[in-house]
Amino acid sequence: MSLLKKFAKDTAIYGIAAILPKIVNVLLVKLHTGILLPNAYSENTKFYVYAVYFNVLLTYGIETAFFRFFTKLKHDSKVVQTAFTSILISSALFLSVFLLFANPISDFLQIRKSFYIILIGILILDTLVVVPYAYLRVMNRPVKFAFFRIFNISIYALLNLVFLLLIPYLIRKNIFVNDELINAYSKPPKVIYIFIANLIASALTFLLFIPILKNFKLSVDKRILKKMLGYGLPIMIAGLAYATNENIDKLLLERMLDQNTMGIYAATYKIGVFMSLFVTAFRLGAEPFFFSQSKEKNAKEQYAKIMLWFTILGSIFLVGIVVFLDIIAKILIGNDIYLQALGIVPIILTAYLLFGIYHNLSVWYKLTDRTRFAMYLSVFGAIITIIFNLVLIPKIGYMASAWATLAAYGSMTVLSYALSKKYYNVPYQTGKIIAYLVLSSALGMLIFKYYYHNYPIKILILGLFLSLIYFIERKEINQIIKRSN
């Protein structure tokens, strides 16, 4: 197998491992919204919002630092030992403190004590496998890496079906159940079974890693640790800022309004994940290309072409989702009580499209070793997110959170573009990109507001949009068709 073919194969495997868990989580939304009322769904959302924040804190950029220094120091085993031992010690400290002060911390987080204990268990188990996962990647073991990822999400999904569908069915039909089992199952809130499923999946995944963990010696090289922390902590700050951009709106909606509003918003927000999946899939393919082409004479022209076609495809995706939004919402959510917030979807889709453009722009700071700007830009976006939510939620409710997401990613994109002109000027077709972005966003909002139930008009608008793109880009499209033949 040629090096290029192997690279493509490995990228595809890692892509599946990255995207499949997100797809499964989207598919589980209908199960959760069909069983949980909005206030219970808000508890589910809050649980995983805290999981995201604590995950960033507990790993403190060590995974990325591990990649950097394990490669730089030519696979020195001290890097593995130092990274894993550091994670183990910090996890033990976290566990001790958060169990010792469980009552005040859970009260501050406004999360039930039982949920809090499960959350701590999941966080510890998931944190302890961060370095082993990174080790598999750096040692070029994509199949094993993907197997563990797919195993984890498969167990989680299967247990969701068992706890939320199978056991209730057995109880209704009085099959293999007794009063004690029925009482034991019915007593806690149903949402806890989602968390228990996650805990079991994390525990079983951790057990799979034990043969690998046995090879990790516990020792710390202070010199290496200092370098890794210096490299990783800015990444942690950027991670916290990104978590804020993605999640702080849910927490603020609950605290400033109520659980029901947050639950409805959070469930509907999941439809926007479709654009996120598109962005992730594109990024997995584009990022290796960015680095591999960086030394070529026409590299900047290639980057500009990639940006244009990303925007075109993303724009088509945006309009297409809105055209079929009623069908998608019924398939993914189903429960009508959640559908009242569908007005956020065109806004969230536009926000994620902008976030994809932001990712494409990141070539300027990645290729010029100015990655600290990723932290600055993420923090800037987080500040925008917080301000918009605090100011607008009392005035326009959950719509404020959607507009805040758009404002954050939009401002990050504009600022990154301005900086790219200074440090790594790529000849992007800015006029076309803005035109496609504005037109697709406007069409999405127009369709939703005026033609939501009018399929002939919606299909006509989509057809006209596709025809316009072909008319403008017909030379390039025809060349692509000829090359493919």
Q: Where are the domains of the chain?
A: 1-220, 249-485
Output the pLDDT for position 3.
47
Among 36-40, 372-376, 464-468, the least confident range: 372-376
- What's the pLDDT at 290? 63
Q: What's the average model confidence in pLDDT over 187-202?
A: 94
Distance CA 420, CA 413 (A): 10
Q: What pLDDT, in 10s, does the model give residues 322-333? A: 999 999 998 888
- Separation between Cα atoms, residue 141 and residue 6, nearest integer Å: 12
**Tokens, residue 334:** 């189903």
Nearest Cα to 40, choosing from 171, 191, 162, 141?
A: 191
Which residue in 250, 306, 254 sits closest to 428, CA to CA? 306
Token pair for 380? 């800037």
Q: Determine how many CB atoms are found less than 10 A away from the CB of residue 113.
A: 12
Residue 384 pLDDT level (bands cut at 50, 70, 90): very high
Residue corresponding to tokens 């499949």: 20
pLDDT value at residue 67: 78
Q: Note the pLDDT of residue 288.
A: 59
The whole-number pLDDT of residue 385 equals 95
Which residues have C-beta within 8 Å of that of residue 105, sequence separation ≥ 6? 98, 116
pLDDT band at 432 (very low <50, low <70, confident <90, very high): very high
Q: What is the pLDDT of residues 129-161, one digit of tens each?
A: 999 998 888 887 888 988 999 999 999 999 999
Three-state secondary structure readout of the chain:
CCHHHHHHHHHHHHHHHHHHHHHHHHHCHHHHHHHCCHHHHHHHHHHHHHHHHHHHHHHCCHHHHHHHHHHHCCCCHHHHHHHHHHHHHHHHHHHHHHHHCHHHHHHHHCCCHHHHHHHHHHHHHHHHCHHHHHHHHHCCCHHHHHHHHHHHHHHHHHHHHHHHHHHHHHHHHCCCCCHHHHHHHHCCCCCHHHHHHHHHHHHHHHHHHHHHHCCCCCCCCHHHHHHHHHHHHHHHHHHHHHHHHHHHHHHHHHHHCCHHHHHHHHHHHHHHHHHHHHHHHHHHHHHHHHHHCCCCCCHHHHHHHHHHHHHHHHHHHHHHHHHCHHHHHHHHCCCHHHHHHHHHHHHHHHHHHHHHHHHHHCHHHHHCCCCHHHHHHHHHHHHHHHHHHHHHHHHHCHHHHHHHHHHHHHHHHHHHHHHHHHHCCCCCCHHHHHHHHHHHHHHHHHHHHHCCCCHHHHHHHHHHHHHHHHHHHHHHHHHHHHHHC
What is the band of 285 on the pLDDT scale with cuts at 50, 70, 90?
low
Q: Average pLDDT, whole number, for the chain?
A: 89
Whether 348 and 272 have beta carbons less than 8 Å apart is answered as yes
pLDDT over 70 percentage in the chain: 94
pTM: 0.88
pLDDT in tens, 67-98: 778 877 766 788 889 999 999 999 999 999 99
Angle of helix 222-256 versus helix 372-396 axis, rounded to 10: 10
The residue with greater pLDDT, 115 or 233, is 115
pLDDT digits (tens, 9 = 90+) for 472-485: 988 888 877 776 66
Percent of the chain whose pLDDT exceeds 90: 59
Give the whole-angstrom CA distance, residue 159 versus residue 180: 21
What's the average model confidence in pLDDT over 420-424? 90
> What's the confidence (pLDDT) of residue 241?
92
- Quick check: 311 and 437 in contact, CB under 8 A? yes
